[in-house]
Amino acid sequence: MEKAKEIVNRMTLKEKASLCSGQDFWRLQGVEKAGLPSIMATDGPHGLRKTIKGTDHIGVTASLPSTCFPTSVTTACSWDPHLLEEIGKAIGSECKSEGVSILLGPGMNIKRSPLCGRNFEYISEDPYLTGKMAAGMIRGIQSMGIGATMKHFVANNKEGFRLVSDSIVDQRALQEIYLTGFEMALNEGQPWVVMAAYNKVNGTYCCENRYLMTEVLREKWGFSGIIVSDWGATDHRIRALNAGLDVEMPSTYGEQDRRIYRGVKKGRVLENTLNETAERIVDILIKAKNNADENATYDKETHHRLARKAARESYVLLKNDEDLLPLDTGRSTAIIGDMAKNPRYQGLGSSMLHPTFLENTLDEMEKQGWNVSFAPGYTWNSDEVEEEKIKEASTLAAGCEAAVVFVGLPEKYEAENLDRKHMKMPASHQRLIQEVAKANPNTVVVLAGGAPVEMPWINEVKAVVNGYLGGQAGASAMLEILCGKANPCGKLAETYPVALKDNPTYNYFVCIDPKIVQYRESVYVGYRFYDTASKEVLFPFGHGLSYTKFSYENLRLSCDKMKDNERLVVRMTVRNIGDRPGKEVVQVYVRDTDTTVFRPEKELKGFEKVHLDPGEAKELEFVLDFRAFAYYNTALDNWHVESGFFEILIGASSRDMRLQGRVYVESSEPDAPVPYDLETASEYHHLKNEPFRVSDAAFQAIYGSPVSATKKEKVEEFTLNSTMDDMQHTLIGKAILWKVKRESLKMPEGELNEGMQNALDAMVKESPIRTLNMASKGDVSLLTIRGLVQLANKEYLEGLRTLLIAARRKRD
């Protein structure tokens, strides 16, 4: 096979330009004359979503059956990169058998706020855990010869106005929190593809961000694959190409290719830049071709069993007073909650797929011969309080020895495109729990949903198991946990705060202008905030119970003094001191006790999951290197370790430390400058135990430039990036909205449920007008949209002229 460079050398300028955007909604352009067919890239991440009729990226149109693994929020709790590798391998083999070359996953954005509607697709609030788990999945997918995609690069931490919002994040937080997971997954997984996110970072669209794509990703980290845009994320194609974006997705049906062609001719893009992009793309086409296998198949049953194992390994036992669980299947048990019949097992949006099988708890119980009776308690797709149903449920519970209540977040409470407004479960579910708990002291709550919820009822029930979104085999896995056939071994990959107001982004998630998000909490994300501010939490990061108990013993550090370029070897022993086999996730945190700059009270720097039989002990070894002790010093523009003492904390969660040691680390750069004015930023050094707020001056001191956000009451001039929300009062805006609504009504009846409809409405309102091109599959050209924008700006002559040219081009 010819090399990419040789192939590109033989291509014309037009051919090279045409590689820079998709062939259609899901395909990258091929190079026919070199025998390289176009290739398919599709969602992801927790299974393959290959649409069969029509195309969309919001999960509306039908897709081929594929295995629906638990979503990332769930599998993250396994703390087991090997499991993620197995899942990745299975998804890779499904891609292979369906002729898909690139899977659009894993999703790796940090859970900055529990309100992000898409948290179910993401891994953790912690970058180290995110990096390790994503790397496992990437290795698995790519072991099948299928490309994996790290997405969404980067700081895409909320859904509202996601295509036009600007994440204002200080360089240190960007490096330590938002980039680190990607960096680790790149080093350990070597993905073929990175997807540039919709949003801007510090004023520049990710797809046009030279710093992020070229300086960080390629030059600093050595990424050699391709960067594709998120679907519809590209604003200015020439700026994007110059900044390092390779492929714009989906297709713009030739329009942007022509722009690139003209750009090279007019010297706005160097041909060499285009050549390098083309070589990277051709390289991927070659890999895809070499790995394709028309005869590939997979076994649905085997993958279903793997989905069950994934769920079992990930469910988290949050509470288990008086060892109520496991339940005795011979005792009478009331099963309550419509979700036991109509499970919530995946999230809404582009990741939503059509499972090969789908279990529900009631059927599974029947199959296993449990002695159960059932009352729905509520209707699964509604959040109305239904008194009769609640009464029926509590009467049933009163007559049984135990009650298991299946509740959580209904589908419409969280979705891609739509952030949550609060952290509450429906009132109907809360009332149900409380009434059942009153009727039966042995009440277990089984939670479903993709993100933390407040639990005002927590002291009224004895046990809680968090099933998150368990995938297609989640029901049988949950039964194994409930009856003790399996021992729970998942641990939370995010903190459960008591209430939303405890989260550090409470005052800053949507603040002043919904399109400008100030990350004022800086590095204090998740437990980094709660633990530093000594906030009471409902369940801490890393928490998860087992039916057995473990002891942590014999901590040994390889030295008590070291240089920052040396490595510290940490050894300890973990022992199963209970009477059941089980798995424990041992976590290693590092605390800088002598820091000059503000730092989180502790940070995760290692973990391992081990299986232990009763009485069995294993010695674990963790290696801590420079980065385990470093923070990002913005004055050096590099990682830096200060001389001083560091505590090594070994725990079962971020709030349950079992062993503690200390090491002195000597800096190789003892004279490094302090990166910000300590006095002005002193609020970051003394977090208060109250809803987090930080002054403009303090944020400015660490951000480095002025930051105040004011909302423009009226948009002065419309652009291609104006949203329907901006334009809704203009005549043109109204006309477009009418047309868009009419088109969306043409969706096949019955396919849009309430959650989807809400997500779609939000998308229409909050997307920039340029995305009409994608929404119409190229029917409405970018030039036409430009003409409409001119009309909205009352530039009538210019607008009509542009529309005429656009119409002529379309006709030709």
Backbone dihedral angles phi then psi of residue 456, each to the nearest 5 degrees? -60, -15
Q: Write down the least CB distance from residue 49 to ligand BGC, Å.
A: 8
Q: Write down the least CB distance from residue 362 to ligand BGC, Å.
A: 33
Pick 104 or 806: Cβ nearer ligand BGC: 104
Taking the alpha carbons of 54, 409, 525, 539 in that order, is the dihedral positive or negative? Answer: negative
For ligand BGC, the binding residue among 112, 151, 543, 658 (CB under 6 A) is 151
For position 166 contacting ligand BGC by CB under 6 A, the verdict is: no
Catalytic site includes residue 80:
no
Rounded Cα distance between 285 and 1, Å, is 12
Rounded Cα distance between 617 and 209, Å, is 50
Q: What is the DSSP letter of 217?
A: I
Pick 57 or 528: Cβ nearer ligand BGC: 57
Pick 43 or 494: Cβ nearer ligand BGC: 43
For position 57 contacting ligand BGC by CB under 6 A, the verdict is: yes
Q: Write down the least CB distance from residue 596 to ligand BGC, Å.
A: 40
Q: If we measure between CA atoms, which residue out of 379, 523, 545, 381 comes closest to residue 462? A: 545
Total number of residues binding ligand BGC (CB under 6 A)? 8
- Please tell me which residue in 230, 235, 419, 592 is annotated as part of the active site: 230
Q: Write down the least CB distance from residue 28 to ligand BGC, Å.
A: 13
| Position closest to ligand BGC via CB | 57
Beta bridge partners of 166: 200, 516
For ligand BGC, the binding residue among 350, 476, 730, 784 (CB under 6 A) is 350
Q: Write down the least CB distance from residue 212 to ligand BGC, Å.
A: 17
Pick 106 or 326: Cβ nearer ligand BGC: 106
Q: Write down the least CB distance from residue 104 to ligand BGC, Å.
A: 4
Binding mask 731-750 for ligand BGC (x = CB under 6 A): --------------------
Per-residue b or e along 680-710, where b marks 16 or more CB atoms closer than 10 Å to that residue's CB: ebebbeebeeeebebeeebbbbbbeeebeee
Q: What is the DSSP letter of 107?
A: B
For position 476 contacting ligand BGC by CB under 6 A, the verdict is: no
For position 231 contacting ligand BGC by CB under 6 A, the verdict is: yes
For position 21 contacting ligand BGC by CB under 6 A, the verdict is: no
For 624-678, give the DSSP string.
E-HHHH-EEETTTTEEE--SEEEEEEEEEETTEEEEEEEEEEE-S-TTPPPSS-T
For position 530 contacting ligand BGC by CB under 6 A, the verdict is: no
Pick 44 or 540: Cβ nearer ligand BGC: 44
Let me know: does 146 contact 100? Beta carbons within 8 Å: yes
Rounded Cα distance between 254 and 268, Å, is 18
206-209: long-range pairs with CB below 8 Å, 24+: 206/152, 206/153, 206/154, 206/155, 206/156, 206/233, 207/233, 207/234, 207/235, 207/240, 207/243, 207/245, 207/248, 208/235, 208/236, 208/239, 208/240, 208/243, 208/245, 209/243
Let me know: does 718 contact 727? Beta carbons within 8 Å: yes
Q: Write down the least CB distance from residue 720 to ligand BGC, Å.
A: 18
Q: Which residues contact 795 (CB under 8 A, 6 or more apart)?
A: none
For position 104 contacting ligand BGC by CB under 6 A, the verdict is: yes
Pick 26 or 128: Cβ nearer ligand BGC: 26
Pick 418 or 665: Cβ nearer ligand BGC: 418
Pair of tokens at residue 138: 């990437």
Pick 104 or 407: Cβ nearer ligand BGC: 104
Q: Write down the least CB distance from residue 57 to ligand BGC, Å.
A: 3
For position 230 contacting ligand BGC by CB under 6 A, the verdict is: yes
Let me know: does 533 contact 542? Beta carbons within 8 Å: no
Pick 672 or 747: Cβ nearer ligand BGC: 747
For 377-389, give the DSSP string.
-S-TT-----HHH
Let me know: does 604 contact 638? Beta carbons within 8 Å: no
For position 251 contacting ligand BGC by CB under 6 A, the verdict is: no
For ligand BGC, the binding residue among 11, 31, 43, 426 (CB under 6 A) is 43
Rounded Cα distance between 494 and 121, Å, is 13
Q: Write down the least CB distance from residue 44 to ligand BGC, Å.
A: 6
For 196-215, give the DSSP string.
EPSSEETTEEGGG-HIIIII
Rounded Cα distance between 230 and 763, Å, is 15
**Residue appearing with tokens 């040994």:** 556
**Contacting positions for ligand BGC (CB under 6 A):** 43-44, 57, 104, 151, 230-231, 350
Q: Which residues are catalytic?
A: 230
